[in-house]
Copies of this chain bind each other. A is one copy, B any other.
Amino acid sequence: MRGSFFVFKRRMVQRLRQLAIFVIGSAKVKLLLCCCFAFTLLVLASRAPAFMGWEHQTVPPDRSSVHRKGYTILMNTWKRNDLLKKSISHYTKCAGLDSIHIVWSEPDPPSDSLTNFLNHVIKSNSRGGRQIELKYDINKEDSLNNRFKEIKGLKTDAVFSIDDDVIFPCSSVEFAFNVWRSAPDTMVGYVPRVHWLDQSKGNMDHYIYGGWWSVWWMGTYSMVLSKAAFFHKKYLSLYTNEMPASIRDYVTKNRNCEDIAMSFLVANATGASPIWVKGDINEIGSTGISSLGGHSEKRSECVNRFVAEYGRMPLVSTSVKAVDSRGVWFW
């Protein structure tokens, strides 16, 4: 117990030291700021016309993106038409969106009024010859595995898997899509989660699943949740056809952890970590299962169950965060 306390104290001292460095750093930042300002004035005075010429330097449009495909939104929804309408209305405004697949597992098919509304929204946001496609993936069985069913004839390699109650600005979506294009084999998402070995259980390999605060405290993560992530369409086929059926059964039975299963699947295929991108999340609903009691324990159970299925822990921890350098002034 005393040992634990001292280790904790050491961690606190370490964190406080980091804080001190941050505060001293900010003094340096102010100095740097003054220098930059003085430098700017100097340059401006001495060679104003040449300096103004900077404005000519526009980054050229990315030509290959014209020929490159965009992404497909894969949206899971469940009896929340108002949220679905809000989400689709938002995302159809984003450039790069090619088509929308709504995973529909309700007993009743989508109503005509919903379909009419969505078609109207899509039409009004389809500018410049862009034609966004809308499809429902209607499922008879209500299983969380429906979310990752293989979609035949998908036109884009990139799938943007998103819950119906999560809204990101289009700029954030474009940013994550950019990261994914450079790393198309891994998952690229906004919501990081972590696992760690529970040493209190002695030699037994028992893992614990950690949420947002654990990631914040440790600065590392090993999963990004499929509630808001890009991944390659090939993983839909792998999830449905190649992943052990026992994992899919577990997900159906427990109504949980399809996102952890997908993280395991991708990490097992790549041997690498996912990439967490910074984005402004706006959660418009609040009835997700993560807000229910005992959530963390159930998630830990999933992790340990999947480790047993794979015979090893495929997840790879990392501390990489992709940020937009246009928002960073001090490098």
Q: What residues of chain A have their CB less than 8 Å away from a CB belonging to chain B?
A: 1, 4-5, 7-8, 11, 18-19, 22, 26, 33, 49, 51-60, 62-65, 68, 175, 178-179, 181-186, 194-200, 207-208, 210, 214, 216-222, 270-276, 278, 312-314, 316-329, 331
Contacts and interface: CB of A to CB of B under 8 A. Distances in A.
Contacts of A64: 271, 312, 314, 316
B320 A60 contact: no
A326 B11 CA distance: 13
A325 B331 contact: no
B318 A182 contact: yes
Contacts of A320: 175, 178-179, 182, 322-325
B313 A60 contact: yes
Q: How many of these chains are in the complex? A: 2
Given A271-B68, A322-B322, A196 B8 contact: no
8 nearest A-B residue pairs (beta carbon): A219-B326, A183-B183, A60-B197, A321-B325, A181-B272, A182-B272, A7-B55, A182-B186
Contacts of A57: 196, 198, 208, 210, 214, 218
A257 to B, nearest CB: 19
A53 to B, nearest CB: 7
A221 B59 CA distance: 9
Contacts of A11: 55
Contacts of A56: 4, 198-200
Contacts of A218: 57, 59, 326
Interface-centre pick from A4, A60, A197 (highest chain B CB count, 10 A): A60
Contacts of A54: 8, 217
Contacts of A325: 219-221, 276, 319-321
Nearest to A219: B326
Q: Which of A8, A51, A273, A320 has the most CB of B within 10 A?
A: A320
B331 A326 contact: no
A182 B183 contact: yes
A245 B130 CA distance: 40
Contact of A316 (B65, B217, B275): B65
Contact of A196 (B58, B270, B276): B58
Contacts of A317: 59-60, 62
A195 B273 contact: no
Contacts of A199: 56, 58
A181 B8 contact: no
